[in-house]
Copies of this chain bind each other. A is one copy, B any other.
Amino acid sequence: MKTGFKIGDVSDKTGLTIYTLRYYEKEGLLPPIPRDKQLNGKRIYSDDHIFWIELVRCLRETGMPLDKIREIVRLSIIGDETIEERKSILFEHEKAVVEKIEDLNKTLKKIRKKIAFYNGETDKC
Contact = CB atoms under 8 A, between A and B. Distances in A.
B62 A125 contact: no
A110 interface: yes
Interface in A79-96: 83, 86-87, 90-91, 93-94
Taken together, the copies of this chain in the complex come to 2
Interface of A: 54-55, 58-59, 61-63, 83, 86-87, 90-91, 93-94, 97-98, 100-101, 104-105, 107-108, 110-112, 114-115, 118-119, 125
A87 to B, nearest CB: 5
A62 B107 contact: yes
B111 A62 contact: yes
A90 B62 contact: no
22 contacts: A54-B125, A58-B110, A58-B114, A58-B125, A59-B114, A61-B107, A62-B108, A62-B110, A63-B104, A83-B118, A87-B118, A90-B111, A90-B114, A90-B115, A90-B118, A93-B111, A94-B108, A94-B112, A97-B108, A97-B111, A98-B108, A100-B104
